[in-house]
Every structure is written in C-alpha cells, then in structure tokens.
Chains A and B, each alone.
Chain A
C-alpha cells in the first residue's frame, strides 16, 4: 500500500525533535491505550498486521498530525466497528456521559 505512512526518503521534514529523559508514556491515557491495544486485537480476532493496516488507512493529514497513541486509538475504533464490537456512536455516547458525570 503506497500511502502517507511510507515516509522513507520523503523531503520537507524538519529536524528530529528529541526529549531529554523521555518517559515511557507521556499521559495516563497513553498507558491505557497501550494496554487496550495489547489485549484487544487477539480478543476480537484481528492481528497486528491488520492493526497497522488500519493505521495506514487513516486520512493522511490525521496520520501526520495525530500523536502515536492517538493513531492507535483511531485505528482501533475503525477495527472495532468493522468487527462489529463497538460503533462510533456508542463511543461518542459514553464520552458524553463521562463529561456529564465529570461536571455533575
């Protein structure tokens, strides 16, 4: 598949930005995202290759601007829907409920 993920040799990117003493995860949600991804693939009958393919199917602008674990989660949503596990509407509804509870 020839897509935006095939970055090798492309021009136009700036310097490699590094972080001193970088933590393994930058946010708690990244830890949860890593763990969710770790278990979900095999439980819903998908594979690492399909997971990578799902990341490669994200829109190019999203691919270049989303953080690494954001891409994982967006790709996972795609797979969850395609495997009939969860719909985006269910996820959106739960997010709205979490906000309500947070405010309440």
Chain B
C-alpha cells in the first residue's frame, strides 16, 4: 500500500475523492446523504456475523445444511441475507477429506451479504497470486496446517458467482445452541484460510 499521510493537510487521493464527490453532487449524479447511508450499511449492518449465522444454522439443522449445499442463494436468503455481490452463492463444505479455500485471482469478488466487504489481504497481489500455486504454504502462514492426506480445493470467485466455506463443526460443541455456535465462526474460517 502506498503511504498515506494522516495529519498532513490532505493527501492527493483524499483531495481527489472530495473533488469528484463535489463535482458529481453538483451534477446530480450522487447525493452525499445517500453515500452516508450506504457507507453506514456496509460498516455496521453487513459483515461476517451474517455468515456465522448461516454456518451455525447448517451445523444445527441437517435439513437446512442440505438446502445450503444444494442451492446456497435461497438457503442464505431464508436468514434474510441477500443482495449485491451475493446474487449467486455456492457453499463449500469442509470435511475430514477436503479443505476448501476461496480467492478472487482477478480482482476482489467476495460474498458481501454474508461476509461484508473483503479485508485488504484478500484483495492483495500476494494472496491472489500464491493461494492458487502454493495453497498449503499460504494456509500455513495463516496458521492452518492441512494434513497431507487432506485434499485442498481452491475456488476462484467471479463477478457472477461467490463462494463461502462451511467449516467443520469444532469437536466438543454438541451442547451449544445456534447463537453460541455462531460465536465460534470466524470470517477467515468462511474464506477457508483457517479451520475452526
């Protein structure tokens, strides 16, 4: 990332964005109040807690899990999560034999309704370049050791189709309700760079 000065008058890019917003506002193309609303929505209303609820439901309800794996988009919508950048979802089940991990090698495609906006590392050249060539090495950097006899599948997202990983339910969680289970689910677990 290029270095941004924080207390300097204003960085070139901050100034550029302000100029563009003003000019587009004057032309009636954007409305600053509408921008405030959409920013607030993606900062506070959408994020990995949504995906965690999907995972917890799948762990608790075998019928739901079957629907999720068969056709993820409507199953996810059952919990109220749908919309932009999640129009066509696929859920990938981790098993003792298969570990799934998701990337967008070409850009930054990510399932917004269930995970929110992607972290910087997901959009960064090192992750995009390396996860498809040496997934086990990258997973190890995330502290994830995948046994040699477990197959690693790397899924490359596209503008049309977005993936989320259904992690394996941790051992010893049999007595937990959905809310307690959801609290165990992490963003990185649903990208597939970590196991739970």
Contact = CB atoms under 8 A, between A and B. Distances in A.
The answer on A and B forming one complex is: yes
B2 A67 contact: yes
Contacts of B128: 7-8
A86 B124 CA distance: 30
Contact of B129 (A8, A44, A49, A94): A8
A76 B14 contact: no
Given A22-B120, A98-B18, A16 B2 contact: no
B18 to A, nearest CB: 6
Nearest to A47: B159
Q: What secondary structure prevails in chain B residues at the interface with A?
A: helix
B121 A17 contact: yes
A21 to B, nearest CB: 10
Interface string B116-149: 1101110111111110110000100110000000
B106 A85 contact: no
Interface size class of A (residues with CB under 8 A): 35 or more
A65 B30 CA distance: 28
B156 interface: yes
Contacts of A73: 13, 16-17, 20
B35 interface: yes
Interface in B27-74: 27, 29-31, 34-36, 38-39, 42-43, 47
Interface of B: 1-2, 4, 9-24, 27, 29-31, 34-36, 38-39, 42-43, 47, 103, 105-108, 116-117, 119-121, 123-130, 132-133, 138, 141-142, 156, 159
